[in-house]
Amino acid sequence: MKAEDRTKYAMKALGWQGGTVHDLCREIECSPSDFLYDPIEGVSVMNSTYTQGWFAYRTCSKKYLFDVLAPKYKGDVQFWLGVAAGAALDE
């Protein structure tokens, strides 16, 4: 996934209509550089935070994602990359 797509899909998952990567990263407490350029890790590992993010977006209600998981995974860039990848499947 391209860097600009990571931002677009993570914002979509949060229900945002727009914003910047800096706005997004302030909300999820990740470095913009890490969010845009860190390699995706754990795609093939069932219990990685990347796959947890993917499954959270694909299977949990938005309310649960926002109220329970989002606070727990603030600062975990791999979780949010998984969420973005999950949101990308909606298109």
What is the domain partition of the chain in residue ranges? Answer: 3-88
Would you state the pLDDT for residue 7? 95
Terminal Cα-to-Cα distance of the chain (whole angstroms):
14
Would you state the pLDDT for residue 24? 94
pLDDT digits (tens), the chain, 91 positions: 888 899 999 999 998 998 999 999 999 999 999 999 998 887 777 889 999 999 999 999 989 988 999 999 999 999 999 999 999 999 8
Secondary structure of the chain in the HEC alphabet? CCHHHHHHHHHHHHCCCCCCHHHHHHHHCCCHHHHHHCCCCCCCCCCCHHHHHHHHHHHCCHHHHHHHHHHHCCCCHHHHHHHHHHHHCCC
| Angle, helix 3-14 to helix 77-88, in steps of 10 degrees | 80
